[in-house]
Structure 1
Amino acid sequence: MTHYRQLRHHGLFHHLLLLLVLLLPSLILCLNQDGFYLQRAKLGFDDPNAALSDWNSLDDTPCNWNGVVCDSATGSVVALDLSSSNLSGPFPSILCRLKRLSFISLYDNFINSTLTEDDLVMCQSLQHLDLGQNYLTGALPHRLADLPNLKYLDLTGNNFSGDIPDSFGTFQKLEVLSLVENLLEGTIPAFLGNVSTLKQLNLSYNPFKPGRIPPELGNLTNLEVLWLTETNLMGEIPDSLSRLGRLTDLDVAYNSLTGPIPSSFTELTSVVQLELYNNSLSGELPSKGWSNMKSLRRLDASMNELTGPIPAELCELPLESLNLYENKLQGELPIGIANSPNLYELRLFQNQLSGNLPPNLGKNSPLRWIDVSTNQFSGEIPENLCFNAALEELLLIENSFSGEIPASLAGCRSLLRVRLGRNSFSGEVPEGFWGLPHVSLLELSGNSLSGGIAKTIAGAANLSQLILSANNFSGGIPEEIGFLDNLFEVSANDNKLSGSLPSSIVNIGQLVKLDLHDNEFSGNIPSGIHSWKKLNELNLANNYFSGDIPSEIGDLGVLNYLDLSGNRLSGKIPVALQNLKLNRLNLSNNHLSGDVPPLYAKGMYKESFLGNPGLCGDIEGLCDGRDRVKNMGYVWLFRSIFILAVLVLLVGSIWFYLKYKKFKKAKRSIERSKWTLMSFHKLGFSEDEIFDALDEDNVIGSGASGKVYKVVLSNGDAVAVKKLWGRPKSTDESADVEKGNLPDDGFDAEVDTLGKIRHKNIVKLWCCCSTRNCKLLVYEYMPNGSLGDLLHSTKSGLLDWPIRFKITMDAAEGLSYLHHDCVPPIVHRDIKSNNILLDAEYGARVADFGVAKEVDANGKGTKSMSVIAGSCGYIAPEYAYTLRVNEKSDIYSFGVVILELVTGKLPVDPEFGEKDLVKWVCTTLDQKGIDNVIDPKLDSCFKDEICRVLNIGLLCTSPLPINRPSMRRVVKMLQEIGNGNLTKTAGKDGKLTPYYYEDTSDHGSVV
C-alpha cells in the first residue's frame, strides 16, 4: 500500500497504465507455439543463402514462412520442406515438438554430425522423412523403427556406417526405405524381409561385406522396386524373388552374382525394368516364359558370361530397350525382334551372333540406337532402320556386312553417329549420306567403298570426325569441306584420292588430325595452314606433293606428329620447324636440300631425313663432312679460348664462395639463438646439424614460398628441410595458392596437421623451427622426389605398372586415413602428383598440408571457403563454384592423379586444347579406344589391371560428387584389383562405372 501511494504521488501510476495499453496488441499478436519451435530450429542452422529470412518472430503464425505448410483447419504445422536450401548444422530435434508434423524434407543440404537416438523418437506423427544428400555420420538410429506412422525414410548420400540395425525389421507401416551411397557394413540383413509393407527397398552403392541376396526378400509381396546395385553380392540369384508379383524394377547390377538367370524370373509379370548387367551370370537365357512378361520394357543383362541363342519369345515382347552386349551369345537374331512396337534401343555388341538382321527391323518401332558391333552378322543393312525417322546411332563395326549403304539412310536426318567400319560394304556412298546435318561421327573405314566425296558434305554442319581410311575412294576432296567449322579429324588414308588439297581446307580452325597418307594427292601444301592452331597430327606421307615445305608449319604450337615422307617436296627444311615439340618427324624420301636445322642435326633424327640426296648436316650418311675438316682449326682456337675463360671464372667463383660461406656461418651463429624448436618425434639429430647445412649447395627445390634443402645428418640419414620466409599477407589468397605460396596460416596448418598424424603413407614431419622472419619444416627425406616430377620427366620409364599401382595404393591409403580415421577428418584440398612423394622403394607419401582443413564434428569445416585452394586441372568442378570443403573434392583430385598414372600425361596440356585430362580421357575413349589412352610405356600384359584402375579414376572424377566413391571404397577396390579378385566388370575396355554408358564395341565410348 505504501508503494502504491508512492507511485501515485510521483505520477508513475498513470505512465504504467499507458504503457500496458500500448503493449497489449503486441502481446495478443505474439507468435504461436509451433512458430516458437521453428524459431528455435532456425537458430541452429547456418543459412548463407537466407532461405529462412522470412521466418519472422513478429508474425503471429509461421504458416506463410518459406517451406512451412499448415493444416487449414487447425493452423498447426504439418509439413516442413527446406530441400536444397544450403543449410548446415545438426538435425534440429526440437522439430519433433510440433505435434502434428507429418512431413520433413531437408534433402540436399549440409546437415551434419550424428543422428542420435533421441533426435526423432518424439516425432510420433511423422510419416515422411527425407534427409538425403547431407553429411550425417555414425550409426543408423535403431529407434527410427519406433515411429508408428513412418512410411517414407530416405537417408541417401550420407556417411552412415556400421550395420543396419535389427530394429529395421520391425517397421510397422514403412513403404520406402532408401539407404543409397552410405558406408554401411555387414551384409544385407534377412530381417528386412519382415517389413511386409515395403514397396521400395534401395540399398545400392554401399560397401557391404560379400554376401548373398537374402531369400527372405521374396516375402515382400508388396515390393515394387528393389535396387541392390553394387552392394557386394555374390552367389546365385534366389528363386524366391519370383514371388514378388508386384515388382516393376529389379536392379542387381555391378555385383559378383554367379549361376544362371532363374527360369522363374519369367513369372515376374509386372516387371518393367530388369537390370542384371556387370555380374558373372552364366548359362543360357530362360528359353520359355518370356511371353508372360507383357510389361517388360528394358532388359540389360550385358557384361556377363551368358551363352546360347536369344529366345524368340523375348524378342516378341513390346520391348523398348534390349542390352545383351558383351556375353558369349550365339546363333541368329530372332525375326520377332522386328515386331517389338516400342523398341528404341538394341545393343548386342561383342557376342558371337550371326546371320542377317531382320529385314523389317526399325519399321514397326521408333528405333533410336542400334549397336551390334563385334559379332558375325552378314548380309545387307535393312532398308527400314530409319523408317520412323528416329534413328540416332548406327554402330555396326567389326562384322561381315556387305552390299551398298541403303539409299534410305541418306534421308535419315536424325542420325548423330554412324560407324560402319571393318565390314565388306562396297559401291558408292549415297550423295545425301555425306550431308546429313546432325551427324558428328562418320566412320566408314576398312571397307571396299568407292566413288568420291560428294559436294553435299557442305550440309554436314555438325560433323566433327570423318574417318574414311582403307577404302577405294577416288577423286578429290571437295572445296565444300572448308565449310565444316566443327571438323577436328579427317582420316582418309589408304585410298585413291587425288588432285590438290582444296584451298578452303585451311579454314577448318578446329582441326586436330589430318591423315591423308597413301593416296595420290599432288600439288603444293596449301598456304595459310597457320590457322590450324589445334593441329596435333599431320600425315601426308606417300603422295605426290611438291614444292616447298611451308614455314607456317612451325607456327603450329601443339603439333607433335609430322610425316611428309615419300613425296616430291623440294627446297630447304624451314628453320621454323625447330619451334615444334615433335614426337615423330619424318621428311625422308623427298627432294629436300640444304642444311638440316641445328635442332634436328643429330643422329637420333637420321631416319627422318634419309632419301634426300641434297640434304647436309652433322649426321652420318647425309653428306661427306669435308666442310667440317676445313673448319677444324677454327674450332680448336675457339675451344681453347673458352676453356681459359672457364678456368678464370671457376677460380674466382671458388674464392667468392669461401668468403661468402664464412660470412654466412658467422651470421647464422648470431641468429641461431633466436630460433624456437618444436619436435613431433624423438629426434636423432640436433638443430645445429640442420642450420649448418642450409646453404645453396644443398638446395633440391625452390618455389615462391621458399626453398627445400637436402640435409645429410652425421649418422648418415637424410632429411628434407623446407625453409619458408616471412612475407606480407596477400590480399588475394587464391593467387598465393596458385603460385605455390602457403597462405599466412599455412605454416600453422602444416604443423597442426602433420604434427599429430602417424601413418605410413603420410609424410613424416620431424620438427619445426621458427623465428620472426623465417620458418623451417623438417621432414623425412624422399629420395625419388615427387611423383609429378618423375612421371613427367625423361625418367618416367622407371615407373612400370607394378610401381605405379603401388603408388596408387599407398596414396589412396594415406588419403583414406585423413578422411575416415582422423578425428576430426581432414580434407587436404591440394591433392596432386607433385604433392605425392616417393621413397627409395617408390613407396608413396601424401605431403604438403599447407591448405588442409579439418571437418569438425559440428560441420563447421563444410562451410564455404573464401577462395579456391588447389591446382589447375585437379580442382573438382563443384568446388570451383561453391567453394565448399568436403572429402569429395579430394577424391576428384585423386582421380586426376590416377588418370595421370595411367596415361602418363599432365592434368593440363596444350595437346588437349580447351579440355583438361579428365575430358581428354573421356573423349579419347569415345573416339579412339582404350589403347590411345594408356601410356605406351606400360607393358600390355597389364592391360586388364590398368583398365580397372583407369575406371576407378573415372569414378573418382565423376561430375556429380555423389557418384564418387569414398576413399575407403577406393582403397577396397584397389585391394581387390591387387588381390586379383575384383568383381568381373566390363570387357577389354575395363569400365566399371554405372555413371557412364558402357559401349565397348564403340571403343569404350562414354555417351
Structure 2
Amino acid sequence: MSTTMLLLLVLFSAAAALSPSSPASAAGIAPLDDETLGLVAFKSSLADPHGALSAWDAAAAGAAGPCSWPHVQCDASGSRVLRLSLGSLSLSGAPLFRGLDRLPSLESLSLSDNNLSGPLPPGLSLLPRLRVLDLSKNSLSGRLPEDLGSLPSLRSLDLSHNALSGPIPDSLFSGSTCSSLRFLALAANRLEGPIPSALSQCSLLLNLNLSSNQLSGSPDFANLLWPLSRLRALDLSRNALSGPVAEGVAMLHNLKRLHLGGNRFSGPIPAGIGLCPHLDTVDLSGNTFTGAIPYTMQWLSSLSFLSLSDNKLSGDLPAWIGNLTALRHLDLSGNELGGAIPESVGRLKGLHYLSLADNSLAGAIPASLSDCAELAELRLGGNGLNGSVPQGLLDLGLEVLDLSSNRLVGTLPLPESGKLSRTIQSLDLSSNGLSGVVPAEMALFFNLRYLNLSWNGLRSQLPPELGFFRNLSVLDLRRNEFFGRIPGDLCDSGSLAVLQLDGNSLSGSIPEEIGNCSSLYLLSLSHNALSGEIPVALSMLKKLEILNLEFNRLSGEVPPQLGMLDNLLAVNISHNRLVGRLPVGGIFRSLDRSALEDNLGICSPLVAEPCKMNVPKPLVIDPNEFNHHGSGSGSGGSSTDNSVDPPAPRRPMHRRFFSVSTIVAIAAALVIALGVMVVSLLNASARRRLGIMENALESICSSSTRSSSPAVGKTVLFGPKSSLRTGDLVSAESLLSKAIEIGRGAFGTVYKSSIGEGRFVAIKKLLTPDIVQYHEDFDREVRVLAKARHPNLMPIRGYYWTPQLQLLISEFAPGGSLQARLHESVDEPLPWSSRFKIALAAAKGINHLHQSHRPPIIHYSIKPSNILLDEHCDAKVSDFGLARLLPKLDKHVMSSRFQSAAGYVAPELACQSLRVNEKCDVYAYGMVVLELVTGRRPVEYGEDDVAILVDTVRGMLEQGSALDCVDRRMGEFPDEEVLPVMKLGLVCTSQIPSSRPTMAEVVQILQVIKTPTVVEGMEPF
C-alpha cells in the first residue's frame, strides 16, 4: 500500500474521530492533534518486524496523545514532541520524513543502527528546530540531499556507516546549517571527490569525521581546516587524500584527537603539531611522511596514543620519547628508523602497547623495558637487534611478545616469576640465532595460542609437554634441528589448527594420534626423515585444508580415505617412497605433477615412474626339483623292449627348496637393500653438510644485508596489520595448488587461497626465471608498488620470496574480473550504469598511478582480466607496474611479454624510436572502454577475416550508425552517455600518442559526461 493511501486512511480516521456522531466524540475522548497524525504517518513508511512501534496507534492515543508512546519524549508540559529515539529497533524500509513536519518542536531524531535502505529523502528542511539528526549504521544509499544545509538549528549530524556516495555537496556548508553545526560524522560511506572549501565557514565545528570514504585531492589545510580553531577531534583517515600537511596546525589549539592515517600524505610531519597542548591521540599511520619525528612532539604531555607506523620516517629513535609519560599506545613500526632503542623508554610506566617492528634498529634490547609494568604487547620484530632477551622482560605480564627476524642469540628464555605463564598468548621468536632445547617448563604457558620458534638453531627432541598447551592454535617449529619422533599426545588439547614441523630431522612414523587434531587445517611435515605409511587417521581431520609431506621416506599407499576430506585444497607427497593408486575423490583428482613426483611407483598418468602395486608376490618353487625317479617303470616291472640299458650311476640326493631364479632374486634384493642403506647414509651426511652450509650462508646474508631484510622464505606483509596477519599466511608456498587456480597472466599464475574464518587472499606465483633474482631488488620494487594505495587499485598486501619461488599477496576480489563478467559469465549482463561506473573507477585508479608517483607507475598490461570487481561491482585495477620486476625493461621485452594481450598493446611498442610512457596505458584503457560499450573483444577471428574492434567502431561512427554496435545485452541505455563514452574510447586509441588525452583528462571527461551541468563553461564531449 502506498504512503499516500496510508495518509488518506489516517486522515479519514481522524475525520471520523472528530465527527459529532462518532463514538469517540460521544465518550469524551480528545480529538487527534497534528503531532499524533504526523507520527502515525511517519510510522507508516517503516517496516516494524518486532512491533517496537505497535503502541503508535491513532485510535488509542488517549488524552495524553503521543507523549505516552514508547520512544517518544515530550516537553515538560506534555504537549509537544521533542525527541524521537528509535535506534536499534530493527526498523527497515526506505524512510520518508512526511509527517514529521507536523512536529514543530522536534529537536532530536535518532534512527541509528537499524536496517533502513534506499536514498536519503528530502524534507528535513521542514524541521526548523531540529538540533540532532542521527541516521548512522544503516544501509542508506545515493547522494546527500541538498536541503541538509537548510537546517538553521542543527548541531549534530551523524550519517556514518551507510552506503552514501557521490561528492559532499557545497550546500552542506554554505547554507544555514553550517552556522550552528558542532558535530559532523560522514564516516564509512562511499563519498568521493575533494573536501568542499566551504567547510572553513563552519567556525563552531567541534568534531569532524570524514574517515573511511573515497575522498581524494590535496586539501589546502591552511585555508580549509586550520581556521576551524574550535575543533577538538579531526578524523580524515582511510581516504585517498594526498600532498603535504602544511604548517599551521598549531592554530587548532583546542584539538584533542587527530586522525590522518591511511591516506597518501607526504612530506615532513608539521612541527606545529607539538604546539597543540591538549592532544591525547595522534594517528598519522599509513602515509608517506618522511624525515625525522618532530622534536616538538616531546611537549605533548597529555599524549596517550601515538601511531606513526607505515611511513618513511628516518633518523634515530629519539631519546626524548621517554618524556611522553602519559603514553599508553606507541606504534612506530614500518619506518626507516635507526639507532638503538633508548633506555628512556623505561620511563613510560603506563605503556600498554609498544611496536617498533620493521625498522632498522640495532643494538641490544634495553633492560629498562622491564620497568614498563603495564606493558601487555611488545613487538620488536624485523630489526637488527642483537644480544639476548633481558630476563626482566619475561617477568612482565605480556600477552604478545614478538622478537622475530632479529639477531638474538642464547637459549630460549624462561620467566623467573609465574606472571608471564598466566598472561602470554602469542610468542614469536622466529628467525633469530637461538639455540639449545625447548624447556619442558614452557608447558606452563597455559594461555598460549600462537608459538613460533621457526628458523633458529634449536636442537632437541620434541618435548611431549607440547601437548599440554590447552589453547594452542598455531605451532611453528620449522627449520630447526629437532630430532626423534613426533609425540603422540601433541594434539591432546584439540585446539591446534596449524602444525608446521618442516625442515628438521624428525624420524619414525607419523603417529596415529594425529587424528585427535580435530581442529587442524594445516599440517606440514616436509623435509624430515619420517618413515612408515601415511596413517589412515589423517582422514579424521575433517577441517584439513593443506597437507605437506614431501621430502620424507614415507612408504606404502596413500590411504583411500583421504579422498573423502572435502575441505582439502592442497597436497604434496612428492619425494617419498609411495606406491599404488591415489584416492579417487577430492583434491587427488587434480593434483599437479610436482606434488607426486619422485616416488617409487604412484599410479598416475602425471608421473613418469612405473606404477607399482603394494601386493606381496608368492614364493615360486620349481616342482621338478622334487622328482627323484625316472620316467620309466620300476625295477620290478617288465618291458616290451628286449634290450636292457645299463643302470645309470646313482647320485646322492640333495633336496633343493628354492629355484635358481628365486635365489638370484633374493641375492639381488640383498644387494639393493645394501645399496639403499649406503645411499641413505650418504644422503643423511649430505643433508647435515647442506644444513651447515645453509646456516653459514644465512648468517653471511644476514650480516651483509639490511637488518630489516626478511629471512629467506619469510612472508613480508605491508599495510595495516589488523587486516592481514603473518599468522594467516603460514608457509606461503604450501598454499599453492592447481585446485585453487583462478587465472594465468603475463607474469604468472593466480591462486585463490583461504586464510581461515571465511577469508581469502589472491596469490600470484611469478614466473621466476624472468623476475629479478636478488632479494634486495625484489623487495625495493614491490614496496614501491605496495605504496600505491587508492580505492580503485587492488592493493599488494605482501610478498613471499625465495630464489626459487616468488609470490605476491593481494586482496581477493569476490566479484571476479571484468573479463569474466563481459565474456564468460552466465549471470545477468552488466547494465550500462555498472559499465560506466567501472570505466570511471578504472580511470581513477590508473590516473593515480600516473599522477601520484614520480616517476609515474606505468601499468603496461591494462585489460579486462586485470580489472577486478568487489561485491559491490566497484572496480579495482590489479597487476599494475609488475614490469618493474623485470631485470631488463625495454620495448622488445614488453612486446614479447604481452603478446597474449592482442589488441591492447599500443602500436608504438613496435617502433624502436618511441619511448614507453603513460600514453601506452591510455591506449589500452581506450580499448577497454570500447569493449565495455560494445561487449566485443578487441580482436575477433572469423572463418575468413579478422575483425579489429577499433576499426569497426570508427567505421560505424563515420557512417552515422554507431549505436548499432552497442551491446544490446545491457538493456536500455542513455544515448547521451553511451555515444560520448564511445568517442572517448576512440580518442584514447589514436595511433598518434600525442593525440591521446592524459588519464586525468579522461577522468574529468567522464565526470562531465555523467553530470554535464557540474562543470560550467565546458562543452559537452
Q: Report the TM range for the smaller structure's normalisation.
A: 0.5 to 0.7
CA distance in 1, matches of 2:213, 2:598: 61
Partner of 2:571 in structure 1?
Answer: 561
Question: How far apart in 2 are the matches of 1:589 and 1:242?
Answer: 69
Q: 1:475 matched to which residue of 2?
A: 484
Matched, 1:81 2:82: no
Q: Structure 1 pair 39/387, CA: closer, same or farther in 2 (3 Å)? A: same
The yes-or-no answer on 1:105 pairing with 2:110 is yes
What amino acid sits opposite 1:205 in the alignment?
S
**Is 1:300 matched with 2:302?**
no
Unaligned residue ranges in structure 1 (runs of 5+): 1-17, 616-790, 803-900, 906-911, 922-929, 959-965, 986-992, 994-1007
Rounded Cα–Cα distance in structure 2 between residues aligned with 1:237 and 1:969: 31
Q: What SS class does the counterpart of residue 432 from structure 1 fall into?
A: helix
- Cα distance between partner residues in 1 of 2:307 and 2:607: 53
Equivalents in 2 of 1:50, 1:238: separation in Å? 53
CA distance in 2, matches of 1:362, 1:545: 48
Residues 606-755 of structure 1 aligned to structure 2 (within 5 Å): 606=608
Alpha-carbon distance between aligned partners in 2 of 1:270 and 1:955, rounded to the nearest angstrom: 42
1 CA distance for matches of 2:100 and 2:359?
Answer: 57
Q: Which one of the candidate residues 821, 840, 846 is aligned to 1:978?
A: 846
Give matches, 1:355-754, under 5 Å.
355-389=363-397, 391-408=398-415, 411-434=420-443, 436-522=445-531, 525-526=534-535, 528-540=537-549, 558=568, 560-563=570-573, 565=575, 573-574=580-581, 576=583, 580-581=588-589, 582-583=591-592, 596=601, 599-600=603-604, 602=605, 604-606=606-608
- The amino acid across from 1:64 in the alignment is S
Among the aligned pairs, what percent are the same residue? 29
Which is further off, 271-280 or 936-945? 936-945
- Whether the 8 Å contact between 1:561 and 1:583 is mirrored in structure 2 is no
CA displacement 1:958-992 (0-9 Å, x = unmatched): 9xxxxxxx99988666445434248689xxxxxxx
How far has the Cα of 1:302 moved from its partner?
1.5
2:794 is equivalent to residue 949 of structure 1: yes
Q: Do structure 1's residue 312 and structure 2's residue 319 form an aligned pair? A: yes
Alignment deviations for residues 315-353 of structure 1 (CA, whole Å, 9 cap, x no partner): 431322222222211111121223212222222222111
Aligned residue for 2:401, secondary structure, equals strand
Secondary structure (helix, strand or coil) at the match of 1:328 reads coil
Structure 1 contact 397–421 (Cα < 8 Å) conserved: yes
Q: Does 1:338 align with 2:346?
A: yes
SS at match of 2:430: coil
The answer for the alignment partner of 2:99 in structure 1 is 94
Q: Number of aligned pairs?
A: 660
In 1, Cα distance between equivalents of 2:739 and 2:458: 45
CA offset at residue 137 of structure 1?
5.8
The Cα shift of 1:62 comes to 0.9
Q: 1:371 to 1:984 in 2, by over 3 A?
A: farther
Cα distance in 2 for residues equivalent to 1:575 and 1:949: 39
CA distance in 2, matches of 1:936, 1:172: 57
Residue 126 (structure 1) aligned with residue 127 (structure 2): no
Is the contact between residue 437 and residue 460 of structure 2 (CA under 8 Å) also seen in structure 1? yes
Residue 529 and residue 101 in structure 1: after superposition, are their counterparts in 2 closer, same or farther (change >3 A)?
Answer: closer
- Distance in 1 (CA, whole Å) between partners of 2:207 and 2:404 is 40
Change (3 A) 1:584 1:950: farther
Structure with max Cα Rg: 2
Q: Report the residue type matching 2:231 in the other structure.
A: L
Residue 215 (1) aligns with residue 216 (2) = no
**Is contact 1:177-1:200 (8 Å) kept?**
yes
Give the whole-Å Cα distance in 1 for the aligned partners of 2:70 and 2:497. Answer: 50
Deviation of residue 376 (structure 1)?
A: 0.9
Q: CA deviation at 1:303?
A: 1.6
- Residue 256 of structure 1 deviates from its aligned partner by 1.8
Normalising by structure 1, we get a TM-score of 0.59
Residue aligning to 2:631: none
Classify the secondary structure of the residue corresponding to 2:445. coil
Q: Deviations over 1:8-55 (max 9, x none)?
A: xxxxxxxxxx99696545443333432222122223334444332110
The residue type equivalent to 1:449 in the other structure is: L
Shift of 1:228: 1.1
Correspondence for 1:934: 764
1:366/1:544 CA distance change after superposition, 3 Å: same
Q: CA contact under 8 A between 1:435 and 1:457: conserved in structure 2? A: no
* Cα drift, residue 424 of structure 1: 0.5
C-alpha distance 577-304 of structure 1, shift in aligned 2 (>3 A): same
Q: 1:984 to 1:27 in 2, by over 3 A?
A: farther
TM (norm. structure 2) is: 0.58
Distance 1:280 1:608, change over 3 A: farther
CA contact (8 A) 2:141 2:163 kept: yes
Could you say if the C-alpha distance between residues 381 and 28 of structure 1 is closer, same or farther in structure 2, counting changes exceeding 3 Å? same
SS state at 2:298 partner: helix
Quote the residue 2:672 is aligned against: none
Tell me which amino acid in the other structure corresponds to 2:76. S
Does residue 198 in structure 1 map to residue 205 in structure 2? yes
Q: CA separation of 1:904/1:206 partners in 2, compared to 1, >3 Å: closer, same or farther?
A: closer
Amino acid at match of 1:73: S
Q: CA deviation at 1:173?
A: 2.6
- Give the Cα–Cα distance (whole angstroms) in 1 for the partners of residues 154 and 759 of structure 2: 44
- CA deviation after TM superposition for structure 1 residue 199, in Å: 0.8
Partners in 2 of 1:481 and 1:402 — Cα distance?
27
RMSD (CA atoms): 4.2
1:268 aligns with one of 264, 268, 276: 276
8 A contact 2:751–2:764 mirrored in 1: yes
- SS of match in other structure, 1:934: strand
Q: Equivalent residue for 2:879?
A: none
What SS is found at the alignment partner of 1:177? Answer: strand
Paired residue for 2:963?
none
Residue 99 of structure 1: CA displacement?
2.3
Please list, as runs of the form range in 1=range in 2, the aligned pairs for 1:852-863 lying within 5 A after superposition: none
Which residue number in structure 2 is paired with residue 289 of structure 1? 296
Could you say what secondary structure the match of 1:221 adopts? coil
Q: 2:744·2:750 contact (CA, 8 Å) conserved in 1?
A: no
> CA offset at residue 148 of structure 1?
3.5
- Kept in 2: contact 1:126–1:147 (CA 8 A): yes
> Measured at CA, do residues 975 and 297 of structure 1 come closer, stay the same or move farther in structure 2, by a change above 3 Å?
farther
2:489 match: secondary structure: helix
Query: In 1, are the aligned partners of 2:556 and 2:580 still within 8 Å (CA)?
Result: no
Does the 8 Å CA contact 2:152/2:180 hold for their aligned counterparts?
yes
CA offsets 1:118-156 (integer angstroms, 9 cap, x no match):
x23332222111123445566645554443432111222
* Separation (CA, whole Å) in 2 of partners of 1:143 and 1:24: 41
| SS of residue in 2 equivalent to 1:219 | coil
Q: Secondary structure at the match of 1:433?
A: helix
1:327 aligned partner: 335
User: Which one-letter code corresponds to 2:46 in the other structure?
Assistant: F
Look up the match of 1:41.
42
Indicate if the aligned counterparts of 2:266 and 2:288 stay in contact, CA closer than 8 A: yes
Task: Give the conservation status (yes or no) of the 8 Å contact 2:120–2:145.
Answer: yes
Q: What's the CA shift for 1:295?
A: 1.6
- Map residues 748-897 of structure 1 onto 2, 5 A cutoff: 799-800=745-746
User: How has the CA–CA distance of structure 1 residues 22 and 574 changed in structure 2, closer, same or farther, with 3 Å as cutoff?
Assistant: closer
Asked whether the 8 Å contact 1:310–1:329 carries over to 2, the reply is yes
Tell me what 1:352 maps to. Answer: 360
Deviations 1:600-642 (A, max 9, x none): 2x4x4126989x9x99xxxxxxxxxxxxxxxxxxxxxxxxxxx
Tell me the distance in 2 between the aligned counterparts of 1:935 and 1:278.
Answer: 27
Contact 2:125 2:151 in 1 (8 A): yes
1:188 aligns with 2:195: yes
Decide whether aligned partners of structure 1 residues 955 and 339 sit closer, same or farther in structure 2, where only a CA change above 3 A counts: farther
Instruction: Tell me what 1:865 maps to.
Output: none
* Alpha-carbon contact 2:752-2:760 (below 8 Å) kept: no
Q: Report the CA distance shift for 1:207/1:541 in structure 2 as closer, same or farther (over 3 A).
A: closer
The alpha-carbon distance between structure 1 residues 31 and 375, as it changes in their structure 2 partners (threshold 3 A), is: same
Bigger RCO of structures 1 and 2 (CA < 8 A, at least 6 apart) = 1
Where does residue 990 of structure 2 map in the other structure? none
